Structure 1
């Protein structure tokens, strides 16, 4: 399951995110989204967990939890919408 994690402190990196989610099960990958020009975190990222039950437990317990002085928003990621404006 692909999990969206928002409202992250800008200091949080992919290793930090992986450590938080590993408390709930195996993490396949983590990705912090960064600005393509500055390289600075945009304050959100994605975590992939293969086990559905572990992923749901992580979402349930981490949504609204405080990490690095910020209240995280954690939910199942929605598919990215295509931008058809040209």
Structure 2
């Protein structure tokens, strides 16, 4: 399992992220996805720790913590969902262009 880390500063490096998580255990891997077109960081990353206990300790300590001028969002990463390629097609699959999902912030 890995940890999702959101609301990261765009200046954060893999070394920075590894160092802060190393305070809670052994960091196995750090990923900072970049935008395919620009190559710039996307403002989130993933960290894998050696044990579940270390992951839990890091999540509890760092979720909501202020780091590099940002309030971190830290939680267990969810498995990536398979996404169908979007071709902007003709709607032959029953998709509509409207994104009305019933959500309202009123």
Would you say same fold, with TM above 0.5? yes
| Structure with more strand by fraction | 1
How far residue 2 of structure 1 moved from its aligned partner, in angstroms, is 0.3
> Partner of 1:41: helix, strand, or coil?
coil
CA RMSD, Structure 1 to Structure 2 (Å): 1.1
Residue of structure 2 equivalent to 1:68: 68
RCO higher in structure (CA 8 A, sep ≥6): 1
The unaligned stretches of length 5 or more in structure 2 are 87-106
Measured in 2, the distance between the counterparts of 1:6 and 1:75 equals 9
Measured in 1, the distance between the counterparts of 2:85 and 2:27 equals 35
> Partner of 2:32: helix, strand, or coil?
strand
> Partner of 2:20: helix, strand, or coil?
helix
Runs of 4+ with deviation above 3 angstroms: none
> Partner of 1:57: helix, strand, or coil?
helix
> Partner of 1:28: helix, strand, or coil?
strand
Deviations 1:18-77 (A, max 9, x none): 000000000000011110121111000000012111110100010000110000000000
Return the TM-score normalized by structure 2: 0.78
